[in-house]
Amino acid sequence: MDKTFQAILAAIASFFVVTVILASILIICKTESKQQQQRRRRRSSAPQTRSRNLVAPKPNPRPDPNYSPCDSATFDPTSLPHVSMQELVAATHNFSSDLIIGDGSFGLVYKARLSTDAVVAVKRLSRGVASLWPPRIPGRDGNPRPDPPPEHRPGSSGSAPRDDDMDSLPRPPLPWPTRLKIIRGVAAGLAFMHHRLEAPIILRNIKATNILLDGEFGVHIADFGLARWVEKAHSHVSTQGAGTLRGADDGGADGAEAELPFPRGGREGGEADGVGEAEKGRFVEMVDASISREDLETTVVEEVFKIGLDCADHKNKRPAMNQVVEKLNMGLSRNYYDVSCPNLAPIVRTQLKKVFKNDIGQAAGLLRLHFHDCFVQGCDGSVLLDGSASGPGEQSAPPNLSLRAEAFKIINDLRRRVHDKCGRVVSCADILAVAARDAVFLSGGPDYYIPLGRRDSLNFATVNETLANLPPPTSNTSALLTSLARKNFTTTDVVALSGGHTIGIAHCSSFADRLYPQDPSMDKTFANNLKATCPTTNSTNTTVLDLRSPNTFDNKYYVDLMNRQGLFTSDQDLYTDPRTRPTVTAFAINQTLFFDKFVAAMIKMSLLGVLTGSQGEVRANCSARNAYSVLVSSAGEAEEARSGF
C-alpha cells in the first residue's frame, strides 16, 4: 500500500478516535449538569420563605450570559444601599434555580445582580429558619409573632436609621429602659430557639452587630452563620459551626445595630477591667457613662449584670435561656403557680364565664381596673385597697370614682375561691392580671400567657399621684404619648392599649366637652345621637364606647375612629394625629395585627412596678392590708384570714 495513503488513513482514524472521546466527555458532562439542575430545582421548588408571596410566580428565566464568577471580586459592601425584597426577586430572576451557587443547613445561596449592577450573594432561608423571623417573644398560640406593619420594619422609613445613615444623624444614647427592653428581647429570642422548637437552634455568634432593632427597638436576631440545629438527645456543646463560618454584619444591611448597656471601648482597661468591677459587685459603674443615672434602678441593674455573669459561668452552672427570661422579668414566670396553685387559671376562667353570661359588661370593668392598677404605682393591687385612717386611697381619685363597684367584688370573690383551693399563695395583683386577661378572651379577644408571681403592695398611692399617672379622656395624642413614654411605652403600644375601649361604657361627663360645643372632628350624625343621650353637660347617663360591637373585643374601635365616631378626645385624636394615624388604619384593616400588638403591650404593662420575692405581701383580703384584714372582713373572711399563712 502506498505510504501516503497509509498516512491519510492513520490521520482519519486518529481524528475519529479523538472525536469519539470528546463526544463521550461532552455527553457525560451534560448528563451531570442536567442532574445537578434537577436537584437544584427540587430544592428550590420546596416552600422556603413567606417572601414568595410578594410577587406572582414566573417561569425561571435563563441565566444572564454576562454573569461572571469574578463580578463581585472587588465589590465594596459599604456601597450597598438598602435592598428591597422586590429588587432581590428581580435580581435573582425570582430565585431561579439556575442562579444557585451554594447551599447550607439554613437555605440556598443565589447569585444576584442588583439595579446598581453590583453582583452579590443572597441567602434565602429555609422555612424552618424563616419562621423564626423575628425570633422574639412567641405569639399567643406559641408561634412567632407576625411581621410588624411596614412602617415598623427594619430599614423602612418609620424604623430606626440604618448604620449607613448614622454618621450624618445625631445618635443620642439610648435610655436604660430601652436597653433593658433590648436585653429582654434578645433573651426571649434565644429562649424561643432553644426551648420552643422541636429541633432547637443554638446561635453561637450572638453579639451586638447580630442584633437588629426595628423602629420601636424590637429585637430581631440575625446572622445564623455560626448556628446549628440540635437533634434530640444531643448537647449543644458538641455542635459545630454550620453555613458561613465568618459572621456577617447584618446590621448595616437591614437595620440599626443594637446598642447594649455596656461601654464600647471607652473605658480604660477594656473588658478585663469590666470583669474586675463585676467581680467586686460594682455593677452600676459598669453601665455606659452616657446613660442618664435618673433612669437607673440599682436593684434592676445589679440583677441584669448578675444574670450576665451567670451566663458566662462554667457550662454546668449556666442557667437555661428560659430561666434567664424569667430572671429578666424580675422573678415573674408563666409557670409560677404550677406547683402551689396549678388550678389557678381554670378557677378564674370558670367563674368569669358565669359572671359574663349574666353581664358581659363586667369584662370591661375588670380590664379597666387592671389598667388603673398598673399605671399607678405598678401592678401591685394598690387600687384594690380601701382608704384608711391615714387618708383617702387611689379609689378616691376622680379617674377611679367611675370604676365599677362590681369589679372590686368580683376580684375579692375570685380571691376567696382561689385561696379556698390553694391557700393564701396567690396575690390579689396576680388574680386581677389573670382576670383582665380572661375578660379580653371571653369577650372575643386574644388569649395569651402572662408572667405571674406579683406580690401585693403594703400601701396605696395618693390622690395626686393617681391623677399624675392616669391621662384623662380629654388628653390629645401628644399628652398621651408623653405620659406613657415615661413608662417606656411606644407609639404602637399606646394605640394598641387604647383598643381596650372596644368594650365598655362611658359617662357623658367624660366627653361632654366634645358635644357642647360640638367638636368639628366628630361625625355630625354621631354627635346628634350622643346629644340625645347626653342632653346636658352634667348628665349622668352613659353610652357605649364602641358603636359597632360594644360587647365584643375586636378591632371595630379603630373603624369607629376612621369614621370620626370616637367618643373621647384621647380616642379620636389618634386618627387625627399623623404620628398615630397609620397604626390606627393598620389595626382597622388587620384584626390579627391589632390582637398581636395588644397582647405585647398588655404583657409589658403587666410588668410595671411589680413587687416580687419578699417584697409586699399576699393579702388575705384584697381590699385591706393583712394587718387590718380581720377588722374589715366579714366573720367568715376573718376566720379565713386567721387561718392563713
Query: Would you list which residues are annotated within the binding site for substrate?
Result: 471
List the one residue out of 543, 602, 394, 570 whose CA is nearest residue 478: 570
Q: Which residues are annotated as a binding site for ATP?
A: 123
Rounded CA-CA distance 3/206 in Å is 79
Cis peptide before 170 (omega within 30 of 0): no
Q: Which cell numbers in the block locate residue 101?
A: 451557587
C-alpha closest to that of 398 among 341, 498, 447, 468: 468
**Cα 608 to the center of its chain, rounded Å:** 16
- Those residues with Cβ within 8 angstroms of residue 407's Cβ, 6 or more apart along the chain or in another chain: 362, 365, 366, 368, 369
| Strand (E) or helix (H) holding 104 | strand 100-104
Question: Which of 197, 193, 232, 233 has the alpha carbon at shortest distance from 210?
Answer: 193
Helix then strand then coil, in percent of the chain rounded to 5, is: 50, 10, 45
Residues of each annotated binding site: 123, 373, 376, 378, 380, 382, 394, 471, 501-502, 546, 554
Residues belonging to the binding site for Ca(2+) are: 373, 376, 378, 380, 382, 394, 502, 546, 554
Ramachandran quadrant class, 258 (left: phi over 0; alpha: psi -120 to 50; beta: rest):
beta
Q: Residue 62 has what DSSP assignment? A: P
Q: Where are the beta strands (DSSP E) in 185-333?
A: 201-203, 211-213, 219-221, 227-229, 256-257
Tally of CB atoms within 10 A around 215? 23
Distance CA 237, CA 393 (A): 55
Rg (CA), the chain: 31
Active-site residue, from 93, 194, 220, 372: 372
The number of CA neighbours under 13 Å toward the Cβ of 526 is 24
Q: How far is CA 187 from the centre of its chain?
A: 12
Which residues have a Cβ under 8 Å from the Cβ of 607 and sit 6 or more positions away? 329, 330, 332, 379, 451
In the structure grid, which three cell numbers stand for residue 180, read together?
A: 433593658
**Residue 486 grid cell:** 415615661
**Which positions ≥6 away from 589 have C-beta within 8 Å?**
none
Q: Which residues are annotated as a binding site for heme b?
A: 501
Q: Is 370 known to be catalytic?
A: no
Task: For residues 567 and 547, give the distance between their C-alpha atoms in angstroms, rounded to a whole number.
Answer: 9
> What DSSP string runs through 297-350?
-HHHHHHHHHHHHHHTS-TTTPPPHHHHHHHHTTT-BTTTTTTT-TTHHHHHHH
Catalytic positions are 372
